[in-house]
Structure formats: structure tokens, C-alpha cells
Amino acid sequence: MNPTEGNHSLVIETHNLGKAFKNVQAVKSLNLQVPEHSIFGFLGPNGAGKTTTIKLLLGLARPTSGSATVFGYDVQRDSLKIRHHVGYLAQNPIYYESMTAREIMRFTLGFFFKGPRKKVEARIAETLDLVGLTDKADRPIKGFSGGERQRLGIAQAQANYPDLLILDEPAASLDPMGRHDVLEVMERLRKHCTIFYSTHILEDVQRVSDTVCILDHGELVAQAPIQQLLGNGGKQFRLETIGNAQGIRPLIAKQPWVTSVEAQPVDGRTEWQIQVTDSVVAEEQLVALAVSEPGVRVTAFGQIKVGLEDVFMNLVGGDHNGRE
């Protein structure tokens, strides 16, 4: 990689990037920052604008507003330079069914390398091994499973030693085993390049991503390291008590690290949901505060664990009919 401009710690950076199709605004004022050597999950429901954004980054579509750079190169002026550093896998790769994986890779590498045959064959073997297809290298594609086809697509995208790998819904149509295999390959590749992949499968994002961006109706609704995005859930606590609920509420509510207190009576008990700014202090003091009120017993206590699905559903809602 030898980019000549821009912030080298950011592989992708967009500034108010937008794309309109007639009366439809597919992407709206998008500001992305993709760190180097990360797995960046580009998340959103169908029609959110994910594929359109990828086309803009690859120079396959022209923005109607804003700008974007990849490795410091402008996506409109320098798309050919960008493609030297990028590997791309479309959502549904198509192959000649009678060809083998090795023949497909030989065909693909012919676009990038003119060197000695021995070196080309070594690169083919290396990429097929990287995606776990060595034992299937000489089988016709027509016998491949969905997961094996996607892994072959990733091998093709890796052919030119890319610094950035862009994957469009790499596991969308796969069964659980196929998805597992593709995610495993992605984790294996993280030491070689930055991975930017679009998906609507929340479980996959939570498993492999370092940073997550959530897009809805073409608009950016969240962008953060995944632990930070999920961390807000660690600042909610559940407390279950028996006794004088009215006496407990003011004790808890007046604490400077408590931002909200909700109580719900259930079968002679009171269930509390408490939002805090400092989870460490809350863990140390909430139970003590509750039992300091005479006659009160605590029957359950713990942090409320929030998954990516909870975060996603809080941020994204409504009708998602649209276009990519």
C-alpha cells in the first residue's frame, strides 16, 4: 500500500456522502470512518443503502453530494488507484459450474499476475488454503455448497493481496454451518487486511466485528466500537425487593450516579430497573442502599445485559421497504 494523501489510520472516510435516484435518496449525508486493520460491520435492514454505499466507495456509482476517500484517494478521481488496494466480493458470486476452484483462481489471477507459472500456482494454493478449500481445489463448482462458493469468492477477492476487503452480505443466504465457515475465514484474514462488510445478520456482527455502523433508510444512526455500542446496556441494573418500595425510591434516585429509576410491583415484590452512569459504583452500592431501609429484603440483583439486537431495535424501526 502506498497511498499519497489523507489520514493513513483511516482506510475509508466519507464526508456527507449522498446518492439520489430520481426521487429516492438512497444514501443521506453519510459520514463513515473505518479504522485500519479492523473488521467493520456495516449493518442495516434490507433497503437501508448498504450496497449503494459500497458502489460509491468502489467508484461503480457517482455520488450526488459529499465526498469519500479510500486510503486517502478520492473515490471519483482515483477509482483505478483505489482498486489496486481493494478486493471485492459481490453478494451472490456467479461461476462457470463446470470449472474447478483451482481453474477459477487461475482465471482470476490472470488479471493480476504475469509472472512465472510456478509463482502463480503457489498463490492459488495459498489463497485456497486460506479459505479452507485445499481439499476441494479440483472439484467442479457445481458440487459446492453455498458456504464453499462464498469462501471461493473470498479467495478471488484476496487474489491481488488487497489491503482492504469489501464483502457485500457474505453470509446472507447461507445455513448456520456455511455462515460459521465464512465468519471463520474473515477472522483468519483480519491480520492481512482491513475488512469492511455489509450485513443484516446481527449475530454475525456481534461475533466478529470490532466496529459497527448502523444505517437506516440511508442515514447513519450509530457508529462506534462494538463494545462501546453494547456498553450502554451494562449501565442498567435490575433489582428485586420485598418490603417498603416507597422508602427505597428516594434513597436510590438521589444518588449522583443514578439517572433514572423505574419500579413495577409483581406478585408482592417490586422489580426495579435502574439506569446509572457508573456501573462499578452501582454494583458496589445499590444492594446496600436498598437494605438500609428497614424491613426491605433484596431477592435478586444484577446488570441487564443488552445484545446487539436490543441496540439495533432501539435505533431502527418502521417500514424498511426501499432500495439498495
The verdict on 100 and 78 lying in the same domain is yes
Segment 58-113, tens digit of pLDDT: 999 999 999 999 999 999 999 989 988 999 998 888 999 999 999 999 999 988 88
Domain boundary residue, one of 226, 251, 266: 226
Domain presence at residue 143: yes
267 has a pLDDT exceeding 90: no
Asked, for residue 316, whether it belongs to a domain, the answer is no
Structural domain includes residue 287:
yes
The three state secondary structure string of the chain is CCCCCCCCCEEEEEEEEEEEECCEEEEEEECCEEECCCEEEEECCCCCCHHHHHHHHCCCCCCCEEEEEECCEECCCCHHHHHCCEEEECCCCCCCCCCEHHHHHHHHHCCCCCCCHHHHHHHHHHHHHHCCCHHHCCCEHHHCCHHHHHHHHHHHHCCCCCCEEEEECCCCCCCHHHHHHHHHHHHHHCCCCEEEEEECCHHHHHHHCCEEEEEECCEEEEEEEHHHHHHHHHHEEEEEEECCHHHHHHHHHCCCCEEEEEEEEECCEEEEEEEECCHHHHHHHHHHHHHCCCCCEEEEEEECCCCHHHHHHHHCCCCCCCCC
99-113, 114-128, 294-308: segment of lowest average pLDDT: 294-308
Query: 172 vs 63, which has greater pLDDT?
Result: 63
Range of the domain at 265: 231-306
In total, how many domains does the chain have?
2
Distance (Å) of CA 144 to CA 97, 99, 126, 133, 151 = 9, 11, 19, 10, 10
Least confident of 123-127, 152-156, 231-235: 231-235
Tens-place pLDDT, residues 204-216: 888 888 888 989 8
Identify the domain boundary among 180, 208, 226.
226
Average pLDDT (44-56) is 90
Residues 208 and 258 in one domain: no
Residues 24, 159 share a domain: yes
Same domain, 166 and 182: yes
324 in any annotated domain: no
Identify the domain boundary among 180, 199, 226: 226
For residues 167 and 190, membership in a common domain is answered with: yes
Q: Are residues 139 and 262 in the same domain?
A: no
Helix axes 146-157, 176-189, angle to 10 degrees: 20
Residue 46 in domain = yes
125 in a domain, yes or no? yes
Residues 165 and 286 occupy one common structural domain: no
Whether residues 187 and 265 share a domain: the answer is no
Q: Indicate yes or no: pTM above 0.75.
A: no
Would residue 111 count as lying in a domain? yes
